[in-house]
Amino acid sequence: MQLLNKIVLLLFFFAGLGLGLAAQTTDSIAVLHKTPEVKDSIPQKKARVKPPKDTYVDTVARKDPRYRNPGKAAFRSAVLPGWGQIYNRRVWKVPIVYAGLGITAGFFIDNLVWYKRFRNGVIVGYNIIQKNDSTGYHNLNSQIQRVFFQGTDVNQSINVMRNNRDQYRRNVDYSAVFFVIAWALNVVDATVDAHLSTFDISPKLALKLSPPPPDINTRMGFAVALQFK
């Protein structure tokens, strides 16, 4: 009987041992055959970071403080005469610029005034000849009244006034053209100064006269040599 009990206990022992090994094997298989994680089939787009734009840096402007931008100088002179010269540090040119503009503007205004005076004189003269309204005579310039309306031949006075009117009309056009040219020269001067802002003018540049190299076929004379030291 005791032998039978021992056998039964031994069977239970081996049965428990087998169940434990089976459980461990099942766990290991479950670990090995673990279901992979399902990833999103639609990949998310990564935000593209735009690279910074390369900024242009003029090496001359960075190395030489005398450098002036020709475009800026031209624009400033076109907007306001003399501004480009101030930008180029050529302040002494500003009075010259305004003197040229002032003279041409003065001629334009003076010619325009006299053109209107002679034009009114011609109109009043025609009204007098045709015995129409002559009250405009009192509104004329005193010089026009004295020179052209105190004579006896009004027709001749009208012809002279008409010629003067046409002449002053041409002078008005010429003065306007000269004013525009003076303004353009102001822009050109500022632009050229800006281009030559880094041009080196120093004592290292030497100009001297020297005899030519000796040669049998060369005649006597002198040569001009420009040396950079």
DSSP reduced 3-state for 55: coil
Q: Angle 151-155-157 (CA atoms, 0-180°, nearest 5)? A: 50
Q: Which amino acid is at 16?
A: G
Is residue 189 pLDDT above 60, yes or no?
A: yes
Give residue 108's pLDDT: 97
Average pLDDT of the residues in 176-181? 96
DSSP reduced 3-state for 51: coil
Residue 13 within a domain: no
Residue 23 within a domain: no
CA atoms within 13 A on the CB side of 123: 13
pLDDT category at 28 given cuts 50, 70, 90 is very low
Q: How many domains does the chain have?
A: 1
Sequence length of the chain is 229
Residue 71 within a domain: yes
CA atoms within 13 A on the CB side of 53: 3
Average pLDDT of the residues in 149-163? 81
Give residue 192's pLDDT: 93
Each residue's pLDDT tens digit, 33-42: 444 555 555 5
pLDDT category at 136 given cuts 50, 70, 90 is confident
For residue 101, which of 175, 182, 191, 173 has the smallest C-alpha distance?
Answer: 182
Report the distance separating Cα 157 and Cα 147, nearest Å: 8
Each residue's pLDDT tens digit, 46-60: 556 565 555 544 554
Is residue 164 pLDDT above 60, yes or no?
A: yes
Q: Which amino acid is at 169?
A: R
Average pLDDT of the residues in 185-210? 76
Each residue's pLDDT tens digit, 86-97: 999 999 999 999
Give residue 125's pLDDT: 85
Give residue 32's pLDDT: 42
Which residue segment(s) compose the domain that 73 sits in?
Answer: 62-199
Residue 47 within a domain: no
Token reading at 89: 């540090």
Residue 207 within a domain: no
Residue 228 within a domain: no
pLDDT category at 104 given cuts 50, 70, 90 is very high
Output 101 or 11, whichever has higher pLDDT.
101
Is residue 20 pLDDT above 60, yes or no?
A: no
pLDDT category at 126 given cuts 50, 70, 90 is confident
Residue 161 within a domain: yes
Give residue 105's pLDDT: 96
Residue 189 within a domain: yes
Give residue 77's pLDDT: 94
